[in-house]
Amino acid sequence: MTSYPPFPAGLIEGTVHRFAVRAYFEDTDLSGVVYHANYLRWFERARSDFVRLLGIDQRTVNEAGEGAFAVADLTIRYLAPARLDDGVRIETTCTDLRAASCRMHQKAFREDGLLLTEASFRVGFVAPDGRPRRMPDGWRAAFAPIVSEGKP
* DSSP-derived secondary structure letter, 27: G
Specify which residues 34 forms β-bridges with. Answer: 28
Active-site residue flag, 137: no
d(CA 101, CA 80): 30
d(CA 13, CA 8): 15
- Contact predicate 82/33, CB 8 Å: yes
CA atoms within 13 A on the CB side of 121: 21
Question: Where do the DSSP E strands lie in the chain?
Answer: 11-13, 16-22, 68-78, 87-97, 101-110, 115-126
Q: Which of 29, 57, 73, 85 is catalytic?
A: 29
**Pairing mode of beta strands 16-22, 11-13:** antiparallel
Question: What residues act catalytically?
Answer: 29
